[in-house]
Amino acid sequence: MTQQEQGFLIGRGRIHRLIGERGETPSCPEAKFKRGDVVKVRRNQSVGHFPAELIVLVAVPPGFSPDDAIADLVGKPRPLMKRVGWRAISYILCREGDQAIYNCRERDLLPSGKDPVEIGSVSAAP
């Protein structure tokens, strides 16, 4: 367990160990893309440095932390320190053969016209 997943609260002669909860990312039925869709990334200032095509792992509903969505995706406890979710739908994306995870808003993605990819299981790199 890494330090991101646990913390300690010390006071009045006691030590309390805090551990991040486990959960499931809420579904997002209004999302334009679904798991396994191949999408094109717009060439703009905010995401222009991302690869041209990515694969959707999970849709993140508005206001939900992307850090919680990543932890839920790989089956780890949610981190105690996390980013605040965007006001719009966002996506956790990946590229085959790449260990990097990308987080992008729906407005920065376009359909690629390619067939969806089947995703079996997702795990964190050691």
Domain residue spans of the chain: 23-111
Neighbours of 4 (CB within 10 A): 16
- CA pseudo-torsion sign 104, 109, 112, 116: positive
Report pTM: 0.85
- pLDDT means per 10 residues, the chain with 126 residues, are 68 87 93 97 93 96 96 91 94 92 96 94 77
Q: Is 57:92 a contact under the CB 8 Å cutoff?
A: yes
What is the predicted pLDDT for the residue at 8?
86
Check whether domain 23-111 has CATH 2.40.128, yes or no? no
Q: Is 122:73 a contact under the CB 8 Å cutoff?
A: yes
